[in-house]
Chain A
Amino acid sequence: MIFEGKAHTYGRDVDTDVIIPARYLTTNDPDELAKHAMEDIDAEFVARVRPGDVIVAGENFGCGSSREHAPVAIRASGVAVVVAASFARIFYRNAINTGLPIVVCADAVTDAENGDVMRVDLSAGTVENVTKGKTYRSEAFPPFMQELIDRGGLLEYVKSRVGGEGA
């Protein structure tokens, strides 16, 4: 899968409270959540973001709460992929489980500036900064996670495991 869009850059430790503030957690409707994506760190984000855009951030992206509303809000806002130097643990799981593509690529993060055009090739494992004319290798997913992604997410995997009993 290849995504191309403009970079929205942020620093390290972007937490789930700024990705989707708790005051909006009285719903789990993706479109409603998307209206407030990134609101407390970047009030203009929702007006600026275009389908296919890329969030580029430093270490520990998504730290804080377990709210799956965070990757859901980002994805529903139109963002195609998040590139970060590292991800917080629960956010990482949630992104994979909910189908938000994420990529670990510290070097691409260091060089990227707001508005740079980024091209992310998930299967090739590359991140390209088109504006700057540079290409970087991203970290590959462990095989089990790749299997989850290929099977269409965790619940599809679990369905195959519990078979007829629960489903």
Chain B
Amino acid sequence: MGSTITEKILARASGLDEVKPGQIIEARVDLVLANDITAPLGIAEFEKAGFSKVFDPARIALVPDHFTPNKDIKAAGQAKKVREFARKHQIVNYFEVGRVGIEHVLLPDAGMVAPGDVVIGADSHTCTYGAVAAFSTGVGSTDFAAAMAWGHVWLRVPETFKFVYSGTPSPWVTGKDLMLHTIGLIGVDGALYQAMEFTGPAIEALSMDERFSMCNMAIEAGGKSGIVGFDEKTTRYLQSRPDGSRARTAGQVFASDRDAEYSRVLEIDAAAVQPTVSKPHLPSNTAAAADCADITVDQVVIGSCTNGRLHDLHQAASILAGRKVHPDVRCIILPGTQDVCLEAIADGTMQTLIEAGCAFSTPTCGACLGGHMGVLAEGERAVATTNRNFVGRMGHTGSEVYLASPYVAAASAIAGHIATPEEVGAAKGGSR
């Protein structure tokens, strides 16, 4: 019996010839991360336990992205704890405001993740890096503290749930739509404890940015990780990372064996998937965007670690170019990193979006978790390209969030209600 890509990565990291689902291993970690919410708790645990040094100051990333630029005095205090710890332990990858980005866009884009790596992060969307054929998963602050001291993490080897996407998606259907559709099929615990392996011709055809966006939401199906196999798009992406970065110089490529064992295989016809939204209050509560035209919208958020990459902004801009955000709508752009901002300036995307009437934020999680920069009032409704629509996620418990792709979010911003690009007269083809 062969092994899956996930099993091979975990076997290498734990120094074993092979591992099997259910086995508990101690895996060496290539990168450990935390943010301004989870790091302070982890730092407190690290210090309380009496540890005085980290396993490797170059393998830890501290990314204050959630409530920064500091939203209030308390948040400033938490950010300060992270900064002081980073200085004390000479953490190489501490990112100050002005250089910081949303962690799951920033770290792969900065070249900090290589194929075959094991990454753990005190943030549930750490599963994003599966897009570069790495194993990555979210943990809590105590696991983060332990990994900082130990350079290892205990893991239960997950079963792998394989998804095979056949067919060619229609022009307005993105990786985000495929993922929302998938979560709608299997439910928010449909992949509980499992690795989600995304395969098939429709995945091979996706841009890297869309693969990131699918892996990002593995946790929304209860998954431990999401992963896409290595191909020439992965190579191209890795080779365009900064000189000397880990993505350029390290890593090991693994692939699932033909006779690997899966807990389940689900075939999905990508050609039949429509532009999809997740209605309140669960990502699995999916519907066709075309069937939600009666849902009016107060706010649209485009960006976040799910859809805050350049390709996502291009998709949004392709709809908003030459049009105006509806007078009753606030449209907020949350770009992933400063580099995304610079590129959006250089190619005119930022101008297009601002001329359409969007507010362009600095990179921050901000509105995604109801933190700042766009909190919803009671009774307000948002369409967001983010990944969660739980009760109160973006503000008041009486507010609502609909999850969508950048295309649908941009079209909804123009229409003032949930809309497809066709409805607002966007030309077929979009930005692929």
Contacts and interface: CB of A to CB of B under 8 A. Distances in A.
A98 B37 contact: no
Interface in A7-26: 13, 15, 17-18, 21-23, 25-26
A144 B49 CA distance: 21
Given A94-B142, A144-B154, A66 B188 contact: no
Given A26-B75, A93-B140, A167-B51, A66 B38 contact: yes
Contact of B189 (A13, A68, A97, A155): A13
A142 B157 CA distance: 13
B188 A60 contact: yes
A157 to B, nearest CB: 8
B356 to A, nearest CB: 29
A68 B38 contact: yes
B17 interface: no
Given A60-B192, A68-B140, A26 B52 contact: no
A63 B53 CA distance: 32
Contact of B222 (A26, A60, A66, A142): A60
Nearest to A71: B140
Contacts of B392: 17-18, 21, 40
Given A26-B74, A166-B51, A66 B390 contact: no
A138 interface: no
A41 B357 CA distance: 36
Nearest to A43: B397
A121 interface: no
Given A23-B371, A97-B142, A166 B52 contact: yes
Interface stretch (B144-152, B232-240, B402-410, B411-419): B144-152
Interface residues of B, number: 58
A28 B40 contact: yes
A82 to B, nearest CB: 15
A41 B391 contact: yes
B378 to A, nearest CB: 13
Nearest to A159: B49
B206 interface: no
A64 interface: yes
A70 to B, nearest CB: 9
Contacts of B307: none
B67 A98 contact: no
B182 interface: no
Contacts of A89: 192-193, 222, 224
A124 interface: no
Contacts of B78: 26-28
Given A13-B189, A17-B388, A64-B124, A26 B67 contact: yes
Interface in A73-102: 86, 88-90, 93-94, 97-98
Contact of B45 (A17, A88, A155): A155
Contact of B371 (A22, A59, A90): A22
A154 interface: yes
A130 interface: no
B391 A17 contact: yes
Interface in A138-167: 142, 144, 148, 153-159, 161-162, 165-167
Interface of A: 13, 15, 17-18, 21-23, 25-28, 40-41, 59-60, 63-69, 72, 86, 88-90, 93-94, 97-98, 142, 144, 148, 153-159, 161-162, 165-167
27 contacts: A13-B282, A17-B369, A17-B388, A22-B37, A23-B371, A26-B72, A28-B40, A40-B397, A64-B390, A65-B369, A66-B38, A66-B121, A66-B123, A86-B189, A88-B222, A89-B193, A90-B139, A93-B140, A94-B139, A94-B143, A97-B146, A142-B24, A161-B152, A166-B53, A166-B150, A167-B51, A167-B52
The 4 A-B pairs at the shortest CB distance, nearest first, are namely A26-B74, A94-B140, A97-B142, A68-B140
